[in-house]
Amino acid sequence: MKQTQCNEPLVIVGAGIAAVYAAESARKAGFDGRIVICGDEPESPYDRPPLSKKVLQDADESARISLRDNAFYDAHNIDLRLGNAAQHIDRLARTVTFADGATLAYGTLVLATGSSLRTLPRLAPAMNGVFYLRQISDAIALRDTLAQTRKLTVVGAGVIGLEVASVANGMGIDVTVLEAGSRPMARATCAEVCDFVVGEHARRGVDIRTGITIHDVTDRPQGYRLALSDGGCLEADAVVVGIGVVPNIALAAAAGLDVCDSGICVDGQGRTSDEHIYAAGEVAFHYNARAGRSERQENWHHAVSHGEHVGRAIVCGAPDYDEISGYWSDQYDFSLQSFGNPIGDHNVVRGDPATGSFSVVHVKDDIVAGVSSVNAPREMRVGKALVRAAARVPVAVLRDTTVDLAKWSSATR
């Protein structure tokens, strides 16, 4: 197993959550050499989840979402190089070349390049009034537009799309959500939770249409006319597109590293096919020892955990990555949390969704594989323990809200 010598330069390409946590973790593990974080955006590394929530509601929020202040980078002797995209890796010379022609040598390189948004040809990001939400500049531009918008169409009923819809609805905007699939949040949650979420949007007047795509787009004086696959049409002052992401593997692929459609291929340490190069966060198609397979995760929890793991593994090695991921979503007055597998062979509802507070335990192969909760933090805490223990709990027990599930967390496989 190769570990980095403490005086070798550690260069991290990408300036998101995984990058910052990898740098911090490497320092904590004893790395005392030079650390450089390089990003293509000019802003200091910031938190992305608020972009579809608070940043759209509060003009001052964009100033509060930095991951760390300048004092942190100074104290940890981390050099930030921002607004300059990496363009080429020379593995033999161990250098990275950037858009401005500058070259940076590395002893170990971490690729934390994240993902890019999927786009629709008929609704290109450059079109006036069309928004793709990935960077802070996107959120600020959308926020300014929403203040003057009467009718908004959201394309894609995933977590981001529905969060934007909830914010816009709260501003008094007429919102229609178009989803090509059979139901919203199909990959992110089970049908039982989906029904609750859709119901909350519907009772506030948000029109969610499934199984529908956009057939054609026509400019109008202010906004667009959208011709739909079901023969209908919509008038929209603005359009937000949220149809998923793809991993940014181009830099790694051009350098000859092993990649696939799911990301940069790495082992349980985060190491690529080159022993001097690692990948961290959602760009990594990583081996997870708990799952017993390689996978890719696109959530905040994983970005933090995998970044920390890779930073530590680079310096002193570590057991193979085995973290369980989760996500949260704030919409209207409810908070949805999910941990582990969000969909099971059996999805057991605990509590009454009509009250606005309930949980769902996801059972797969007779094991508690995941838990989702709506406004039920204690149920989530207990559920996480069950997932971590891979507990076997009878469905009748899971369904009975008079039973305290905490004692079952010590159950074995």
Note the pLDDT tens digit of each residue in 326-339: 999 999 999 999 99
Do 131 and 215 fall within a single domain? yes
* Confidence category of residue 409, pLDDT binned at 50, 70, 90: confident
| 61 band by pLDDT with thresholds 50, 70 and 90 | confident
Q: What is the pLDDT of residue 1?
A: 44
Split at pLDDT 50, 70, 90, the class of 6 is low
Residue 94, pLDDT above cutoff 50: yes
250 within a domain of the structure (yes/no)? yes
How much of the chain exceeds pLDDT 90, in percent? 93
pLDDT of residue 3: 53
Please report whether residue 2 resides in a domain.
no
Q: Which pLDDT band holds residue 243 (cuts at 50, 70, 90)?
A: very high
Here the CATH number for the domain that contains residue 404 is 3.30.390.30
Statement to judge: residues 281 and 196 lie in one domain = no
Do 74 and 44 lie in one domain? The reply is yes
Tell me what pLDDT residue 412 has: 47
The alpha carbons of the chain give a radius of gyration, in whole angstroms, of 22
What average pLDDT does the segment 6-14 reach? 87
Please tell me the distance from the alpha carbon of residue 160 to that of residue 163, in angstroms, as a whole number: 5
Worst-scoring range by mean pLDDT, 172-186, 235-249, 297-311, 396-410? 396-410
| Domains held by the chain: number | 3
Are 103 and 157 within one domain? no
Distance CA 305, CA 302 (A): 5
DSSP character string of 246-294: EE--HHHHHTT--EETTEEE--TTSB-SSTTEEE-GGGEEEEETTTTEE
35/87 same-domain check:
yes
- DSSP, collapsed to helix, strand or coil, labels residue 25 as helix
3-state helix/strand/coil string of 88-136: EEECCCCEEEECCCCEEECCEEEECCCEEECCECCECCCCCCEEECCCH
Distance CA 160, CA 139 (A): 12
Say what the alpha-carbon torsion angle 2, 284, 114, 306 is, to the nearest 10 degrees.
-70
pTM for the model stands at: 0.94
pLDDT tens-digit series, residues 347-386: 999 999 999 999 999 999 999 999 999 999 999 999 999 9
Residue 261, Cβ neighbours under 10 Å: how many? 9
| Length in residues, the chain | 413
How far is the C-alpha of 218 from the C-alpha of 111, rounded, in Å?
A: 40
Residue 4, pLDDT above cutoff 80: no
CA-to-CA distance for 251 and 111, rounded, in angstroms? 9
Neighbour order of strands in the sheet with 95-98 = 86-90, 95-98, 103-105
Q: Which residues on neighbouring strands pair with residue 178, listed in sequence order? A: 155, 209
Domain coverage including residue 33: 10-116+245-316
**Site of tokens 């161990």:** 94
Residues 157 and 235 in one domain: yes
- Inter-residue contact 164 to 242 (CB < 8 Å): yes
Residue-by-residue DSSP string for 292-320: TEEE---SHHHHHHHHHHHHHHHHH--SP
* Same-domain pairing of 164 and 92: no
Tell which of 225, 241, 257 closes a domain.
Answer: 241
